[in-house]
Chain A
Amino acid sequence: MGKSLIPCLFFGLILFVAASDLVVWLMAIELPGRRFVRTPVKLSWSDLRYSTWGPKIENHFTGRSVLYHGSGALYNEMFYRMARRTTGLVAANEGWLFLKSNTLELEAEDLDASLAEGVEVMAAVHERLAERGKKLWVVLIPNRPVIYAELAGNPAVGGRGRYLDDFCAALEQRGVRYVNLTEPLQRLAESGVDTHFRADHHWSYEGCQASAQAVATTLLAEPHDRWVSAPRGGGVSWEVADPPVHRSLVSFLKFRKESELERRYLRGQSLAVFEDDWKAMAPDGEVRDILTLESSFGMFGFAQFLESALGTGVDALVEPGNGSVYPLARYLSGGYGGLIDREHRWVIWVVPQYHLEEGLKNEGGSRIRLPDSRASSAASREVAVLSQQIRGGTPHRRRFHLKGRQLDVRLEFGEPVELVKFTCNAGGGMKRGILTCRGAGEEGLLVHVGGRETDDYWFRLEPPRSRVDLSVVFPDFGYWLRDLTWQGFSTRE
């Protein structure tokens, strides 16, 4: 063998993996793995022009690679067994896994800044809804390590442990109604019930139910008019997860049929089964008294539990995977078919602590602004568009298909405009996008994805300008924008 052993091992490894990937690709074998999404890579000539072919192939390749799935799963499994550690996670006793980012102490200055920003946003939303005769309730969900401080190895004595208390004190000063779920969830945890899933940052069904009960208790203590809508009356049954409901991490490698991580995960966990799940609670013809705006935490039946606890109908808008600002922003901008104009008297915005701690930022770090609902009323005189340039999209009937992740629109108006309205319906992906406008601050508006209706996005330009540059950025490839229009307005007659 001499000097050939190491090269043989090296080339053998990379050729084996490459050949395995080829086989998987040719035979279209569906590899297991929760995050695996089998999507064909679509390349076109425009990918060469926009240099998107490389990232597309890299994305596709990484998502399909045998090694990506195999080694990732195997590594996590083996390493967890040996070192009680998995990448990005803190592994505690009893199968508890914590997101490392949730257990770290943050700089006091950053926390203070995000707190001030969050309170400011909530106060503004509170005022806007009050103008429409609606009451805002902010429901604040603590991070798991705050509830399970000892398990997470974080004594929760730092700023993050006090964060929601400080936040609520600031909200109280600004007259914003809130429910802090820290205490009810801590009480439930002390009674021995898991308030959260052990290997996920969401609350458990039991934690969700207890939270809904705590919210209902607070709401009922508030003087209110008689409820006008009846609950749907859908039933809830409970079952215990055994065997685990999720696939093993390493099942495809046939090391074990059941992973150590998952054996500890969900076994014995109570799961609520709803007759009508949250999707059926989207507002329809009949409007209920209460509307909840929720992120993925809503998927565990918060609205159903709340409806049962209150004894009145609750409408729910749940937007999993898009954060808690997204449903609020869409609601405020007149999305969901102009739902903001309907008669919901109480609007409950459910916000997890870590969404607040991060500040109002989109994926990628772009700052988010909430829609300016007064902009449309300020627009008095439309200014003609002299020229328009669109880059990064291919027109196809009513749609512009994005060639990469970004579409740029440059508009030249006949005179300086103070307000710009951008209208479109976005689709082709799951995640929200962000729309920025040069001259209107660094923050962008979240671009709503899905549905058939178009959404309006308003920007105020300071100072007014004739040339306007708008950019829509999505987190992935394959998005399109339909019925794209724009208008510029001057507020001066």
Chain B
Amino acid sequence: MLFTSYSFLFLFLPLFLLAYVACPIRGRSALILVGSYVFYAFWRVDFCLLLLGVSLLGYGGGRLVDRWSSNRARWASAAFITSVATMLAGLAWFKYAGFLGESWNSLIRYIGAPGWTITVPEVLLPVGISFYTFQAISYVVDVARGAKASRCFIEFAAYVALFPQLVAGPIVRFGEIRESLAQPRISGIGLHAGVILFMLGFCKKVWIANNVGLAADWAFSLQSPSVTASWFGVLAYSLQIYFDFSGYSEMAIGLGMLLGFRFPENFRMPYLSKNIAEFWQRWHMTMSRFFRDYFYIPLGGNREGAGRTFINLMATMLLAGLWHGAGWTFVIWGLFHGILLAIHRGWTILWRPRVSNPATTGRIRDLGATGLTLLCVMLGWVLFRAENLTGAWRIYTGMMGGFGWHEAHLFAGRFDGVCQAMFALGILFVFAEPWIRPRLEVSRPTQLGLFICFVGGLHELGAQAYNPFLYFQF
């Protein structure tokens, strides 16, 4: 069930909220648990068992680590390793078994030993598995680092399955919502802010992401994209992924606020970053935080010399790439960002102090830095969006003019006024976001304007499905 579906907005959400308001505060975490499992079961009932399994592993691991950490360190370590390794094994099986099997077979075919090929398992990827597994892992690691373990399984299971952020994050730490889970309280301020955020995210997704996505889909489906089509497609996809993902995150954070939770921010105007390190501090912030705290820093971070820092950065970004998807495009995307981060770090350490001069800093330089960062990010999105390396190479070739310069007749009439307007609005919003956001919090006309956009978005959704003229029956 998507947040932008009628069945969520007008069936699940009203029923759940009515029950939530009517429920005593101490019973709300149980209600959240039931509601979240119903929400997840809309997609697959059997994978609720997987969700339950991850919850049990996280909860059991946390309890055992907490109990044994003071007097039986080895047992605590064993419990920690067993719990985390089992969760990671589950994630690896569901997410990477097919990829690894196919890669193995490709390698075998390449070296010419057909007898060594294996049957690639057909594994259905459970929705949100990366998010809820990481949440459970972060909990066990935090407990091993000294955080207090949860004593109530219902609370913990509700944390893992919490439906607003179950499917696509943000990745929340148990400690951040522990108190709210014990006593979820609805507040007027939370309702107001939550509704605003939810509507903003909804409009981002329905109006901008869905419309510019048409352009991206078209450009990436071309066999020989021209320069204009390639750049247009990459720009469209850059807008689509930002408005889609940040929109979904804002809906999730907004829903959390409606229920009395305060989730961490996940996007903070990332396309306005002045360097790639800043980009990763603003893009999918909870994932970046997870990899920083649970992988990069334990590896040594930047404390053990330039060479080791480079390796740590590459390893972290490789893992981040693989986390996003099981495919070589994601591996290379991760490495690409690792290299960018390493270059930036090298620049910061070696050259920047020499050239840094307050007189030369200014808007033009900031603009140049932002433009360069955005360009690098956009180049990376090609790998992220392309179906395979061949597709990515096709787009890169197109961007460099390998398939000619323009194809005006292909553009003509393809994208209607709304699509074009949303494209322009998307670009405008990226740059005007620092100005718009504060006004959304306080300005009544801006809020009413957002509500009107939300109602329009509902109608747009309805009209997308309601096309009575198409294929009607005489």
Which residues of A are interface residues toward B (Cβ below 8 A)? 3-7, 9-11, 13-15, 17-18, 21, 33-35, 48-49, 51, 53-54, 57-58, 61-62, 65, 67-76, 79, 83, 85-90, 97, 99-100, 103-105, 107, 109-110, 153-154, 157-158, 199-200, 202, 249, 261, 299, 320-321
B472 CB–A CB distance under 8 Å? yes
Question: Which of B15, B450, B464, B466 has its CB near the most chain A CB atoms (within 10 A)?
Answer: B466
Chain A residue at minimal CB-CB distance from B9: A14
Cα distance A149–B122 in the bound complex, in angstroms: 47
**B414 in the interface (beta carbon within 8 A):** yes
Task: Please give, as numbers and ranges, the residues of chain A lying within 8 Å of B447 by CB-CB distance.
Answer: 5-6
Q: In whole angstroms, how far apart are the Cα atoms of A260 and B468 in the complex?
A: 14
Is the CB–CB distance between A69 and B469 below 8 Å? no
Candidates A4, A48, A105, A110; contact of B409 at CB < 8 Å: A105
Contact B473–A109 (Cβ < 8 Å): no
Is B429 among interface residues, defined by CB-CB distance under 8 A? no
Q: Is the CB of A35 within 8 A of B10?
A: no
A107 to B196, alpha carbons, bound, how many Å?
43
Name the contact of A10 in the complex, choosing from B10, B15, B199, B470 (C-beta under 8 A).
B199
Q: Is the CB of B460 within 8 A of A103?
A: no
Contact (Cβ within 8 A) B466 A73? yes
Give the residue of A21, A89, A249 whose beta carbon is less than 8 angstroms from that of B10.
A21
A90 to chain B, nearest CB (A): 7
B393: Cβ under 8 A from any A Cβ: no
Q: State how many angstroms separate the Cβ of A363 from the closest Cβ of chain B.
A: 11
Contact: A35 with B472, CB < 8 Å?
yes
With contact pairs A57-B7, A61-B6, A107-B223 given, residues A51 and B469 touching in the complex (Cβ less than 8 Å): no
Q: Which 3 A-B pairs have the closest CB atoms?
A: A72-B466, A54-B42, A71-B462
Given A5-B444, A200-B469, A321-B473, verify A18-B458 contact (CB < 8 Å).
no
- B41, CB-defined interface residue at 8 Å: yes
Q: In the complex the two chains form, is B468's CB within 8 Å of A73's CB? A: yes
B: residues with CB less than 8 A from A are: 1, 5-7, 9-11, 13-15, 17, 41-46, 188-189, 191-192, 195-196, 198-199, 222-224, 409-410, 412-414, 416-418, 444, 447-448, 450-451, 454-455, 458-474
| Residues of B close to A104: CB separation below 8 A | 413-414
- Name the residue on B nearest A18 (C-beta): B14
A-B contact count (CB 8 A): 171
B199: nearest chain-A partner, CB-CB: A10
Closest to A1 in B: B444
- CB distance A6 to B195 under 8 Å? yes
CA distance A53 to B13 in the complex (A): 18
Given contacts A62-B465, A67-B10, A105-B414, could you give 6 more A-B pairs where the C-beta distance is less than 8 Å?
A6-B450, A62-B7, A79-B463, A88-B464, A90-B413, A199-B469
**Known contacts A4-B192, A58-B1, A71-B458; is-contact A14 B465 (Cβ 8 Å):** no
Tell me if B6 and A97 are in contact (CB < 8 A): no
A97 cross-chain contacts in B, Cβ below 8 A: 469
State whether A68 touches B45 (Cβ < 8 A).
Answer: no
Contacting pair B10 A107 (CB below 8 A): no
Which residue, of A15, A67, A69, A153, has the highest number of chain B Cβ atoms within 10 A?
A: A67
Residues A58 and B466 in contact, CB atoms below 8 Å apart: no
List the B residue with the shortest CB-CB distance to A100: B416
A39 to B418, CA, bound (A): 34
Given A18-B11, A86-B469, check contact A65 B6 (CB 8 Å).
yes
A-B contact pairs, 18 of them (CB 8 A): A4-B191, A5-B447, A6-B195, A15-B14, A33-B468, A34-B472, A53-B42, A57-B11, A57-B42, A75-B463, A76-B466, A76-B467, A76-B468, A87-B467, A88-B467, A100-B416, A103-B413, A105-B412
Known interface pairs A18-B11, A51-B46, A75-B460. Does A67 touch B469 (Cβ–Cβ under 8 Å)?
A: no
B1 touches A3 (CB 8 A): no
Write the nearest CB–CB distance from B436 to chain A, whole angstroms. 16
Contact status A71-B5, CB under 8 Å: no
Which one of A18, A53, A83, A249 contacts B417 once the chains associate, using CB atoms below 8 Å? A83
Q: Return chain A residues, CB-CB under 8 Å to B444.
A: 5
Rounded to whole Å, the gap between the CB of A39 and the closest CB of chain B is 15
Which residue of chain A is the closest to B451 with respect to CB atoms?
A: A9
A406 to B318, CA, bound (A): 38
Nearest CB of A to B394, in Å:
13
Q: Could you tell me the distance between the alpha carbons of A68 and B459 in the complex, rounded to whole angstroms?
A: 8
In the bound complex, what is the Cα–Cα distance between A71 and B457 (angstroms)?
10
The complex places the Cα of A316 from the Cα of B13 at a distance, in Å, of 51
